[in-house]
Structure 1
């Protein structure tokens, strides 16, 4: 007999159970779906569905055959030194998750490009003026990270006629996107980016990548959008760049500490637009089909799809 354990404090487990019951009708998920800290018979657990799992939880299941992540990014899992590294770790690949992120990025890019952030302030000041507008083909957008999420956002921004470039660990070939790769090309990428979008995975190499040095390499008046992980940004450095005027404004969906503490200076900074880590939320009804297929593969003795490469961390 096989069973599933659900380990997450950030979502409704019943939504996932019902969606998965539809996509995996051969399983009895009334009986064989356990919500942590309920382990059921731990020896029967072969699948763990997780999002930011409780540290130490995954080591409790000796017959675990796959860990399926329910969101984008596995940094909290690999940071837990107790997780069983011999168990395949599956990343979330879902059209709805990707589409939601692309919507968010396009919204924020247009908010800055079309100067809506300034018009909102002008409304509060009863200031009726027209601001000079440049065309999208004259605006450069640079995306840190050209994986599933970054690549999709890049393609849609190209379709809106922006000048799009991307930086990644290795060279990527996307139509209409100028590719920069490796540490040696990061400065050139930043020098040519007016709106910087971060969609990188969080790894030891990318932690703190948006810092005083990299911000200074952006053009005067650049914008910063971070929808990846809070650990990518050195928050004090970003605030300093905003205060100096070198960075015009920033849109942040993720933070070093979440929920954002009440006394954080990020809340009331006049040049920061923030949102509570909602850029892209997993949709159980959409994601259940790919999760069910991976469960079937594992239970047939096959390798699951969309495996995380532990060497790279994503």
Structure 2
């Protein structure tokens, strides 16, 4: 039977994904019917899912999987109507983009590049070597471990923290509440790459910010809800934090009147650190449909209890 694949995005998303998705399915030998239209939800076998589209999965009684195009799935894991298996997006291009973003901004802050842009006087400010700069990555999943490893390869002194114990060559791996305190206390540059869960929301709060060294820099390409925004702004205002480079926010696009835009110690980037790219993401989707059709386990299936 030819599977029916429902692409849940709108016309603009479909225009970007139609050809790559059809090509990827053909390359996997799958003769599927793929459409952004869904006249009969009960006839759908797979949903290629973009957050913010379908909210009630009850009518999709035949669906064998919901295949997300985003790495983050926090907006869907708690949906009580979602009884179908859910797979998140894990794609090498997402990882590459995140590694480039994180290493670029860590190097920017490590070298003090902002201080030289627009300079009009000869003032030497020699940074330490990378081996003398302590960087902490909160979150050691696919993206966090890749970023930590890349920074260690540049000889930064890197520690990582995760909820569950991890072992990564060249990284000081910490876990648990005591480990979190140690991770924060050493973080001259802090990178947030945790998923959003009830346990991680507002993990950067007045208490955890106070544990950071004076002048620490925060880089958040993870999730906006990881940060207590009022606490972050207060720490930037009083000088305890040196700078915050933020790529994700509780409300996106970031409202024009948000104080982050005008703050001299905040850099806003418009959620560009790890963008899903249609050509490579479509191959991941097609591979999962092939596996499901063959009765094999889905790649990157979400643990609904853990939230990722």
Question: Which TM-score band (shorter chain)?
Answer: over 0.9
From 162, 171, 181, the equivalent of 2:165 is 171
From 267, 272, 283, the equivalent of 1:273 is 267
Structure 2 match to 1:46: 45
Q: Indicate if the aligned counterparts of 2:224 and 2:249 stay in contact, CA closer than 8 A.
A: yes
Q: CA deviation at 1:27?
A: 4.2
Q: CA deviation at 1:297?
A: 1.4
Task: Map 1:148-163 to 2 at 5 A.
Answer: 148-163=142-157
TM norm structure 1: 0.93
Q: Indicate if the aligned counterparts of 1:211 and 1:237 stay in contact, CA closer than 8 A.
A: yes
Structure 2 match to 1:60: 59
Instruction: Return the alpha-carbon distance in structure 2 between the equivalents of residues 10 and 274 of structure 1.
Output: 28
Structure 2 match to 1:297: 291
Alpha-carbon RMSD across the aligned residues, in angstroms, is 1.6
Structure 2 match to 1:104: 101
TM norm structure 2: 0.94
Structure 2 match to 1:12: 13
Count of matched residue positions in the alignment of Structure 1 and Structure 2: 305
Gaps of 5+ in 2: none
Q: Indicate if the aligned counterparts of 2:48 and 2:285 stay in contact, CA closer than 8 A.
A: no
From 138, 145, 157, the equivalent of 2:139 is 145
Measured at CA, do residues 10 and 214 of structure 1 come closer, stay the same or move farther in structure 2, by a change above 3 Å? Answer: farther
Measured at CA, do residues 131 and 9 of structure 1 come closer, stay the same or move farther in structure 2, by a change above 3 Å? Answer: farther
Gaps of 5+ in 1: none
Q: CA deviation at 1:9?
A: 5.2
Instruction: Return the alpha-carbon distance in structure 2 between the equivalents of residues 260 and 189 of structure 1.
Output: 29
Structure 1 match to 2:255: 261
From 276, 285, 296, the equivalent of 1:282 is 276
Q: Indicate if the aligned counterparts of 1:34 and 1:40 stay in contact, CA closer than 8 A.
A: no
Instruction: Return the alpha-carbon distance in structure 2 between the equivalents of residues 239 and 10 of structure 1.
Output: 38
From 182, 192, 202, the equivalent of 1:188 is 182
3-state SS of paired residue (1:141): strand
Instruction: Return the alpha-carbon distance in structure 2 between the equivalents of residues 104 and 10 of structure 1.
Output: 29
Instruction: Return the alpha-carbon distance in structure 1 between the equivalents of residues 58 and 106 of structure 2.
Output: 42
Instruction: Return the alpha-carbon distance in structure 2 between the equivalents of residues 288 and 101 of structure 1.
Output: 19
Instruction: Return the alpha-carbon distance in structure 2 between the equivalents of residues 205 and 189 of structure 1.
Output: 17
Instruction: Return the alpha-carbon distance in structure 2 between the equivalents of residues 257 and 227 of structure 1.
Output: 14
Q: Indicate if the aligned counterparts of 1:144 and 1:196 stay in contact, CA closer than 8 A.
A: yes
3-state SS of paired residue (2:57): helix
Q: Indicate if the aligned counterparts of 1:93 and 1:306 stay in contact, CA closer than 8 A.
A: yes
Structure 2 match to 1:113: 110
3-state SS of paired residue (1:33): strand
Q: CA deviation at 1:140?
A: 0.6
From 92, 102, 107, the equivalent of 2:89 is 92
